[in-house]
């Protein structure tokens, strides 16, 4: 049996925070914050739920901007809003008909551009080297076809998430979230 005093202490140490204790920024305060030099490009992402999920991840990690390209739907849309939970209001975004035009925009901002894709000579995500001040753009592709080859050809490289199961496939919002977290973490630790 657990010691009652330890039980009481542990309940304070692991108490779930209430919504008002999370100290969330207002949309205006979020927009005014210095961002971290990470841009996300959605290259023909067809699922509105995936788009909304990427917006939420972008909000969580102070992403500079999301570039929505091709068939990728734009806010406001009921299905995006349902998943995004308001982050379409806080995260900057813009639409490009062609992903290659988005890459030109990113080059004007001196971004290193990487596709998140399984490709020859890809860099394993955990082995990616970044400096704190580097601007980086991460391209996430279509759920079935991935990032277009013409887009990959214009990238600085491809980043791949090592996988060890039988499918070697992750949902685009899951893989995007993993990669964004890893890139954000590396930038925080870089000298």
Percent of the chain with pLDDT over 70: 94
The pLDDT-based confidence of 14 (bands split at 50, 70, 90) is confident
| Residue 6 reports pLDDT greater than 80 | no
φ/ψ of 68, rounded to 5, equals: -95, 125
pLDDT for 10: 64
The pLDDT-based confidence of 60 (bands split at 50, 70, 90) is very high
Three-state secondary structure of the chain: CCCHHHHHHHHHHCCCCCHHHCCCCCHHHHHHCCCCCEEEEEECCCCHHHHHHHHHHHHHCCCCEEEEECCCCCCCCHHHHHHHCCHHHHCCEEEECCHHHHHHHHHHCCCEEEEECCCCCCEEHHHCCCCCCCCEEEEEEECCCECCHHHHCCCCEEEECCCCCCCCCCCHHHHHHHHHHHHHHHHHHCC
| Residue 70 reports pLDDT greater than 90 | yes
What digits encode the pLDDT tens for the residues 132-189?
A: 999 999 999 999 999 999 999 999 999 999 999 998 889 999 999 999 999 999 998 8
Domains of the chain: 27-189 (3.40.1280.10)
């Amino acid at each position: 049996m657990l010691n009652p005093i330890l039980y009481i202490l542990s309940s304070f140490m692991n108490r779930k925070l209430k919504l008002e204790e999370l100290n969330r920024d207002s949309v205006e305060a979020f927009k005014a914050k210095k961002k971290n030099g990470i841009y996300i490009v959605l290259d023909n992402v067809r699922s509105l739920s995936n788009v909304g999920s990427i917006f939420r991840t972008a909000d969580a990690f102070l992403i500079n901007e999301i570039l929505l390209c091709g068939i990728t739907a734009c806010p406001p849309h009921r299905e995006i809003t349902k998943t995004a939970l308001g982050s379409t209001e806080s995260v900057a975004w813009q639409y490009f008909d062609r992903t290659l035009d988005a890459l030109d925009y990113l080059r004007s901002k001196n971004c290193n551009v990487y596709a998140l894709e399984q490709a020859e000579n890809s860099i394993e995500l955990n082995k990616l080297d970044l400096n704190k001040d580097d601007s980086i753009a991460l391209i996430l592709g279509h759920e079935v076809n991935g990032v277009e080859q013409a887009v990959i050809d214009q990238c600085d490289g491809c980043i791949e998430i090592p996988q060890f199961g039988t499918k070697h496939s992750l949902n685009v919002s899951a893989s995007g979230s993993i990669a964004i977290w890893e890139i954000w973490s590396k930038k925080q630790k870089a000298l």
